[in-house]
């Protein structure tokens, strides 16, 4: 497997989900191991950082098995080499939520497979915010460098104001910590904090929050009133554009929530490759891993060997055509055509039944659309991960190479979210399926490798090593699927 999610020699950092996993690991980490790696990655940057939440939140997260986030504040904006980037590369983590607009909270959520299920690390970058409400600028956030805990007004903002704006009153222990931090806060920081809250949330809500921080009993209706002010702030002309851009994360997930509690959508994963490349093995492994993750899956077949339109099957029987696949080249034929270049219409096909083969190509184009509408689209609508054995790209070579039907099929059938090529050395592929010549198999596999360089998928193209030399070859693929499930559906370019 390549060390970054790439196809051939070309990388796609803007569309690939993450860098490849560290293949030296023999399995997923425990939560304790992941917590240790998080601390090491944060300390290595030399930037200021702190835990969010009450004391002991990180230890409880390490002992937990649920989807609750490990919340961290990090002073610097996202950049290559930051803690999230390091963790994604090391553990093939999936970025399940991202927000980088400076008018709102900036954060990245990374989901990592652990021995007890998926675990989420959420890093807030720069200013402490809730949505578009600025609580404390990054430059005023004070921390205890020994415990990596927020202090002063920043701690009060995190422990009291943040949960209230999210619709709940803090637990007594957390509230006590917020009050102690408020008492110890710098008077100037307290004054500026009150001014910011008043400006953004109104005098009444700000006064109630300050009163609670000073020891007053919280009004049970305070979270509702604060949420109303937050919604009004989110729709202000200066920030409504950023609110709309992040509507998937702003609106409650409700029935669209996945195993992490975040909104998910259906994902189409298409596996391509010559016979013997390992498509079935990768598909079976992906089904199992996604089930463990909590994502439902469905299978679909897009090959030409079965499930054909009745018209194609009838034509085979009446005209005595045993297959619509191109005939193998004769032993005396010259060297095969260069890979990656479609053959001219009819090249390599037997002279008889040319008209039938041309017609069959169009039958298959229609059938591909029919299969998609019949089995794939309904599963995607139910937010399932559809793992398809082959895709419409087979029509480029069979039954009539170079037919316009292939281009039409690729246009009318939506592109898969993730295109996967199981790959191994040509010699190994041929040993697995020796029914065809080694040269024919190698040529077809090379054309699939070149297909990936066209970047036809919506989200990512991934090569999965099926040679057995990679410790966990499926880890980056699982991360890609998880990230695609939590991201918006991209339009075809």
pTM of the predicted model, to two decimals? 0.84
**Residue, of 324 and 190, whose pLDDT is higher:** 190
119 with 112: CB under 8 angstroms? yes
Q: Compute and round to an integer the Cα radius of gyration of the chain.
A: 28
Q: What is the mean pLDDT of the chain?
A: 86
pLDDT at residue 218 greater than cutoff 90:
yes
Confidence (pLDDT) at 199 = 97
Contact present, 306 and 422 (Cβ < 8 Å): no
Say what the pLDDT of residue 66 is. 84
Question: How is the beta sheet containing 460-465 ordered, strand by strand?
Answer: 297-301, 385-389, 267-271, 418-423, 460-465
| pLDDT tops 80 at residue 87 | yes
Nearest-5° angle of CA 408, CA 8, CA 269? 50
Q: Which fold has domain 267-486?
A: Rossmann fold (3.40.50)
CA 335 to CA 99: how far, in whole Å? 53
Distance in angstroms (rounded) separating the CA atoms of residues 298 and 380: 9
Read off the pLDDT of residues 37-57 as tens digits, 9 standing for 90 and up.
Answer: 999 999 999 999 999 999 999
Which DSSP state fits 374?
A: I
- Measured CA to CA, the distance from residue 246 to residue 406 in angstroms comes to 37
Q: Using an 8 Å Cβ cutoff, are 391 and 270 in contact?
A: yes
Cβ neighbours around 122 below 10 Å, total: 18
Q: Are the beta carbons of 35 and 70 closer than 8 angstroms?
A: yes
| Cβ atoms within 10 Å of 73's Cβ, excluding its own | 24
Residues linked to residue 7 through DSSP beta bridges, in sequence order: 10
Cα–chain-centroid distance for residue 346?
41
List the chain domain ranges: 6-256, 267-486
pLDDT at 8: 31
CA distances from 477 to 4, 15, 117, 198, 270 (A): 12, 14, 16, 47, 12
Q: What is the maximal distance between C-alpha atoms in the chain?
A: 93
Q: What is residue 352's predicted lDDT score, i.e. its pLDDT?
A: 56
Q: What is the pLDDT of residue 427?
A: 95
Nearest 5°: the CA angle 130, 132, 136 is: 60
Give mean pLDDT, residues 358-378: 91
Q: Coil, strand, or helix at residue 110?
A: strand
The Cα 223–Cα 227 span in angstroms is 6
Is-contact 22 462, C-beta < 8 A? Answer: no
The DSSP secondary structure of 383-433, one letter per residue, reads T-EEEEES-GGGGGTSSSTT-HHHHHHHHHSPPPSEEEEEE--HHHHHHH-
pLDDT at 432 (0 to 100): 94
Per-residue pLDDT band at 304 (split at 50, 70, 90): confident
In terms of DSSP H, where are the helices of 185-278? 187-201, 203-213, 222-234, 240-245, 247-250
Report the alpha-carbon distance of residue 405 to residue 362 in Å, rounded.
5
Question: Is 169 in contact with 218 (CB distance < 8 Å)?
Answer: yes
End-to-end alpha-carbon separation of the chain, Å?
Answer: 27
Question: What mean pLDDT is predicted for residues 265-277?
Answer: 96
Pick the range with the lowest mean pLDDT from 264-268, 320-324, 341-345: 341-345
- Cα 282 from Cα 22, distance rounded (Å): 19
Whether the CB-CB separation of 395 and 368 falls below 8 Å is answered with yes
pLDDT tens, position by position, 118-176: 999 999 999 999 999 999 999 999 999 999 999 999 999 999 999 999 999 999 999 99
**Averaged pLDDT for residues 290-294:** 94
Residue with tokens 């075809």: 492
Which ranges constitute the DSSP H helices of 64-140?
Answer: 83-91
Residue 394 burial by Cβ neighbours in a 10 Å radius (0-12, 13-18, 19+): buried
Question: What pLDDT digit, counting tens, does each position of 477-491 carry?
Answer: 999 999 999 988 765
């Amino acid at each position: 497997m390549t060390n970054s999610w790439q196809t051939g020699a070309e990388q796609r950092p803007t569309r690939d989900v993450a860098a490849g996993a560290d293949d030296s690991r023999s399995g997923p980490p425990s939560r304790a191991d992941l917590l240790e790696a998080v601390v090491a990655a944060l300390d290595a940057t030399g930037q200021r950082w702190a835990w969010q939440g009450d004391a002991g939140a990180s230890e409880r997260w390490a002992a937990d098995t649920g989807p609750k986030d490990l919340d961290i504040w990090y002073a610097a904006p996202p950049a290559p080499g930051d803690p999230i980037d390091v963790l994604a590369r090391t553990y093939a983590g999936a970025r399940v939520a991202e927000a980088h607009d400076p008018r709102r909270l900036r954060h990245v959520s990374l989901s990592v497979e652990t021995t007890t299920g998926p675990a989420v690390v959420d890093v807030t970058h720069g200013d402490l915010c809730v949505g578009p409400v600025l609580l404390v600028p990054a430059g005023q956030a004070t921390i205890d460098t020994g415990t990596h805990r927020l202090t002063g007004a920043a701690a009060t903002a995190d422990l009291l104001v943040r949960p209230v704006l999210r619709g709940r009153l803090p637990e007594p222990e957390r509230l006590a910590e917020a009050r102690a931090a408020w008492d110890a806060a710098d008077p100037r920081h307290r004054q500026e904090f009150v001014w910011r809250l008043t400006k953004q949330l109104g005098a009444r809500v700000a006064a109630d929050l300050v009163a609670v921080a000073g020891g007053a009993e919280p009004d049970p209706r305070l979270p509702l009133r604060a949420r109303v002010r937050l919604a009004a702030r989110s729709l202000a002309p200066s920030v409504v554009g950023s609110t709309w851009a992040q509507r998937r994360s702003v609106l409650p997930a409700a029935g669209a929530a996945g195993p992490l509690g975040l909104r998910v959508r259906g994902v189409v994963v298409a596996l391509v490759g010559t016979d013997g490349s390992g498509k079935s093995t990768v598909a079976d492994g992906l089904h199992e891993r996604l089930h463990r993750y909590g994502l439902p899956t469905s299978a679909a077949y897009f090959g030409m060997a079965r499930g054909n339109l009745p018209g194609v099957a009838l034509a085979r029987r009446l005209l005595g055509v045993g297959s619509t696949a191109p005939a193998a080249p004769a032993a005396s034929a010259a060297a095969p055509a260069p890979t990656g270049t479609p053959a001219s219409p009819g090249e390599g096909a037997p002279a008889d039944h040319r008209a039938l083969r041309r017609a069959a190509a169009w039958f298959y184009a229609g059938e591909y659309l029919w299969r998609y509408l019949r089995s794939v689209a309904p599963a995607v609508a139910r937010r399932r991960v559809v793992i398809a054995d082959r895709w419409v790209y087979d029509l480029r070579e069979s039954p009539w190479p170079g037919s316009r039907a292939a281009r039409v099929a690729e246009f009318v059938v939506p592109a898969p979210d993730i295109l996967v090529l199981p790959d191994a050395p040509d010699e190994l592929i041929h040993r697995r399926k020796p029914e065809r010549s080694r040269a024919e198999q190698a040529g077809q596999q090379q054309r699939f490798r070149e297909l990936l360089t066209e970047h036809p998928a919506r989200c990512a193209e991934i090569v999965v090593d099926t040679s057995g030399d990679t410790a966990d070859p499926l880890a980056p693929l699982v991360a890609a699927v998880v990230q695609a499930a939590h991201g918006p559906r991209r339009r075809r370019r």
